[in-house]
Amino acid sequence: MRETLAVPLGDDLDLVLLDTDYSDGSTARYQVVVRWEENSEQGDAERFQAIGTDGSRTAFDGLYDPEAGRHLLALIDSSSTVGPIRFLREPDAELPVGAAPRVMGAEQSNTSVVFGTSAIFKAFRRVTPGINPDIELSRVLARAGNDHVATLLGSIDTDLDGEHYALGMVTRFAAGSAEGWDTATASTRELFAADAAGDGAASFAEESRALGEAVASVHRTLADELGVSEVAFPVDTLVQRLRVVAASVSELAPYVDRIEARYRRLADRAISVQRVHGDLHLGQVLRTPQTWLVIDFEGEPGQPLPERRRPDSALRDVAGMLRSYEYAAHQRLVEGGDPADDLVHRARDWADRNRAAFCEGYAAAAGADPRDDADVLAAYELDKAVYEAGYEARYRPAWLPIPMESIARLVG
């Protein structure tokens, strides 16, 4: 680990960027907000946020320190510059500077701190040079007044070795909201309950319809603000991805030719592209007491930034959401082993109804039904299902039947 940048933000608070070399030759740059405390008798270094000691001082993860959290928010509120670090409040944004901060539960790629009930600060742990699409698109959507995103309130960035790095962002916290995945799987749990009459499935269709409207609204704003262009359908990219996955997933072998044929049929097709979400699924949407919000515009994880910011078909996002409905419907079945026919039918029916409702809502708000472009939509669904097959074969073999069943149906 090498320290690349250490900026004192206060008496005992540093913003640090560290470089790590991995054995495969790659390097990665990480951000750590370090809070220093004088060592006490009780052995502070044992506390889980402790990073290490330096003489008489112990370093802690500053994001877990309420005082440090409030200080960071105050720096954003005053749009301060500290050394090379720029803190920026969005025009007209109101930040809850006095509110109590608390770190959100783990299991995320970044660290998020919630302030009271009105703001959430996401500190990027791993930082990469370039424009961060989450901040970029959140800003565009907030300034255009779109109601289906978490409004951007502020951000932190810096320049290092002539390159731009985004370090964090603050958005309005959606109090009392539930993740789309949780609301959807709560509906399927009802559906699988022994004497389910199917009403639960019907009621979620209204949610799916509203979700389709919200996604269409976000797409429309992004198109209006950032433009639309036409490109040839990316046949070669999809074929390439298919071959890479097929080389390691033998279950795909019976389908490869048919999938490729479906892609090649689109070789002469021109498609509209625009800025999109890029990694849309039920885990990236929040149901607030009022409406649906789309969050986390970081794009496809693991891809380089320029790739993630590249205009793409809005149908790719739609396909991502449709795939997510397949997972929400079937995850409980694959976990339970060999499911009864009746449950398989209920799951199929739930997925069909909610996928259709999502597309209907999308069509109502966008003025065009994604299903009108059935070939292109199916190609994006196949592309995603092939990616899933690669992932499941490697990490969760019990789940492989979910993408495989979809692939069989899509090319059948």
Distance CA 75, CA 83 (A): 13
For strand 101-103 and strand 285-287, is the pairing parallel, antiparallel, or unpaired?
unpaired
Residue 110 binding: pick among ligand ATP, Mg ion, none (C-beta 5-8 Å cut-off by kind): ligand ATP
Binding mask 167-196 for ligand ATP (x = CB under 6 A): ----x-xx--x-x-----------------
The answer to whether residues 212 and 365 touch, using CB atoms and an 8 Å cutoff, is yes
Closer CB to ligand ATP, 112 or 354, in the complex: 112
**Binding residue (CB under 6 A) for ligand ATP from 79, 108, 117, 290:** 108
Place of tokens 């008496």: 11
Residues 333-392 that bind ligand ATP (CB under 6 A): none
| Structure tokens that stand for 296 in this block | 């986390």
CB of 308 to Mg ion, least distance (A): 13
Distance CA 140, CA 142 (A): 6
**Binding residue (CB under 6 A) for ligand ATP from 31, 32, 33, 110:** 110
CB of 236 to ligand ATP, least distance (A): 29
Closer CB to Mg ion, 107 or 161, in the complex: 107
Residues 280-299 that bind Mg ion (CB under 5 A): 296
Q: How many residues does the chain have?
A: 412
CB of 108 to ligand ATP, least distance (A): 3
Give the amino acid at 22. Y
Residue 179 binding: pick among ligand ATP, Mg ion, none (C-beta 5-8 Å cut-off by kind): ligand ATP
Place of tokens 């998020």: 112
Using CB under 6 A as the binding rule, whether residue 285 contacts ligand ATP is answered as no
The answer to whether residues 152 and 169 touch, using CB atoms and an 8 Å cutoff, is yes
DSSP letters for 136-154 = HHHHHHHHTT-TTB--EEE
Using CB under 6 A as the binding rule, whether residue 295 contacts ligand ATP is answered as yes
Residues 134-163 that bind ligand ATP (CB under 6 A): 150
Distance CA 300, CA 308 (A): 6
Q: 41: number of CA atoms within 13 Å, CB side?
A: 0
Residues lying near ligand ATP in the complex (CB under 6 A) are found at: 104, 108-110, 112, 120, 122, 150, 171, 173-174, 177, 179, 286, 295-296
